[in-house]
Amino acid sequence: MKYITFDQKLVEEAIKWQPGGWPLGNLLLSLAALVLCVLLVGIVGIERERKGRSAGLRTHLLVGIGSTIVMIISIYGFPITDYSRDVARLAAQVITGVGFLGAGAIMHRSSGIKGLTTAGTIWVSMAIGIACGSFNFILATAGTLLIFLVLTLFRKVEVKISKNNPTMVVVVPAGEAVLGKLHSICHEFDASLHSMSSNISEVDGKNCVEIVFQILFESGGERSEEFLTRVEQEIKPISVHYLNRK
């Protein structure tokens, strides 16, 4: 037999260990898959827990362990004489089901969409679980390391890039004409407005309009604080601030 990966060779040698006719090698492989899944998915879950996300360590572990168990069942959970089985069928159902679970972590608010990253980490926890359950241990480990880098190191890159196109929230009294003033300020700062939305709200018993928009500075985002000050002076809003700024 020609092996493609180191894991396949490991599995082949492990399943040969059957003292007294008992397939203890398969049992050890399954236990190793579960333990590795807990360790790897735990890394992702702890990162989400530290960020204070609603889907934290326990949620990610449940998704990962469940995916591992389903994958092991699809391989060993049916009679060996059933040659018509498709070991990938259960995994496909898990992928679809976890997709719906991740959608539940996404919340749409007037200030934008929240929870996309957490929904993504729930989905990749499932992928790690499937990789462990199919005994692709090296792939699962390497994938987890990359996921952790994306959640930590790439966060700093994302923040740096977002300075050039920050999202601003402006709350003004209902009936105030502010769009013309905003466009005038943008022209002054060589910027443009994108993804604008508005929502009726109430502040101190008075009807207000909350306007959310993204600003693209053609010459860079170093003038974002000046832009904020100019909006405060020209429009005199009830409140104004940038989203996700540190």
pLDDT digits (tens, 9 = 90+) for 130-164: 999 999 999 999 999 999 999 888 877 776 666 66
At 222, the pLDDT band (50, 70, 90 cuts) reads: low
d(CA 49, CA 41): 12
Residue 176: predicted pLDDT:
77
Averaged pLDDT, 177-194: 84
Please name the residues in contact with 146: beta carbons below 8 A apart, sequence gap of 6 or more.
Answer: none
Q: Give the bridge partners for 240, in sequence order.
A: 170
Averaged pLDDT, 200-221: 78
Rounded percentage of the chain residues whose pLDDT exceeds 90? 23
pTM for this one?
A: 0.69
Q: Which residue has the higher pLDDT, 98 or 136?
A: 136
Q: Which residue has the higher pLDDT, 201 or 44?
A: 44
Residue 79: predicted pLDDT:
66
- In angstroms, the Cα distances linking 74 to 7, 41, 64, 67, 129 are 18, 21, 15, 11, 13
At 107, the pLDDT band (50, 70, 90 cuts) reads: low
pLDDT digits (tens, 9 = 90+) for 7-41: 888 888 888 888 888 878 888 999 999 999 999 99
Averaged pLDDT, 197-213: 81
Q: Please, what are the domains in the chain? A: 6-161 (no CATH), 167-243 (3.30.70.260)
In this predicted structure, the answer to whether residue 110 has a pLDDT above a threshold of 60 is no
